[in-house]
């Protein structure tokens, strides 16, 4: 799954790793950092920090279709840090905002 994530979202830093959170970017340092990954059944939910201009967090749902060997992005929400836990819970449960 980590290969699939990198192909979809480009280079990123692992949780707690170095990344560019502000407009002052260091060369060679990713602009994204993975916060965490959750899984329920065939749904994987990722929280990814996006830095440089307009810092935000994206919560992305990937649905894995094992019979077709396919991963499909089913949802993406932009959230603020205080809303992260509630948003992840909603996405995992399939609740629509």
Q: What is the pTM of this model?
A: 0.84
Rounded to an integer, the average pLDDT of 18-23 is 88
The residue with greater pLDDT, 19 or 81, is 19
Q: Is the pLDDT of residue 68 over 70?
A: no
Residue 47 in contact with residue 15, Cβ under 8 Å? no
How many CB atoms within 10 Å of residue 14? 11
CB 62 within 8 A of CB 46: yes
- DSSP type of residue 61: E
Q: What is the pLDDT of residue 90?
A: 94
34 beta partners: 48
pLDDT value at residue 17 = 93
More confident call, 95 vs 38: 38
> What pLDDT score does 1 carry?
63
**What does the pLDDT average to over 23-48?**
90
């Amino acid at each position: 799954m980590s290969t699939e994530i990198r192909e979809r979202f480009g280079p990123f830093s692992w949780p707690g790793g170095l990344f560019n959170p502000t407009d002052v970017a260091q060369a060679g340092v990713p602009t994204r950092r993975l916060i965490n990954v959750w899984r329920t059944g065939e749904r994987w939910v990722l929280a990814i920090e996006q830095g440089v201009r307009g810092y935000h967090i994206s919560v992305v749902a990937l649905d894995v279709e094992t019979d077709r060997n396919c991963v499909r992005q089913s949802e993406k929400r932009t959230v603020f840090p205080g809303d992260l836990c509630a948003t992840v819970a909603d996405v995992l449960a399939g609740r629509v905002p």
